[in-house]
Amino acid sequence: MALSRLLLLCMVASEVWNAETRPIDFVCDRESRRDMNTVAEMAAALADCDALKMLPSPIQLPCIKVHKASWERKSAQEKKGDIAATLRALSRSVSVVKTLSQPGCAATLLERLEHTVNNYLHIITHLDIRGSVESPFFSSTAESTHSLSTVLWTFSRLITGKMEWLMADLTHGCP
């Protein structure tokens, strides 16, 4: 029962901060982006979860490797496509592993991670960026891992790396 309440609390806490918020608000408010990044909280919860030493199946890691010069030559739409494709792959992979996990703190953390990834995906896919068509291809070869802590670390690097670089490119449209 307490675990169900914890899951509900985690889901509510990781919701996008305001139903009226538009994706451009996410771009223009760095503090809101920082508040939405709950990876550190999930990593702390993972430390308290003895049941989760190894995942039952590997999770495909987000592609975070970037050749800076190549990244800067991409259009904002291509960058958006790269990030969206990476988030979609991560969401699918987490969803598969979640279905294989036993109920408990592991399943709760995987549920929370999936929800957080989907929040970011929702925002990225709804950004109104004009330009060349989204690239469905990854900018680097994806790896996989059985370690949720590695998944969380890599996801955090995606958020604070590629995602922040894209947001910096888009701030010209901020009021």
- Domains, the chain, with CATH or none: 25-173 (1.20.1250.10)
Residue 97 has pLDDT above 80, yes or no: yes
Contact 60, 93 (CB under 8 A): yes
pLDDT on residue 155? 92
Name the nearest CA neighbour of 47 among 123, 105, 87.
105
Helix or strand (DSSP H, E) at 145: strand 144-145
Residues 123-134: what's their mean pLDDT?
74
Burial level of 88, CB count in 10 A (0-12/13-18/19+)? middle
Residues 112-129: what's their mean pLDDT?
90
pLDDT on residue 2? 56
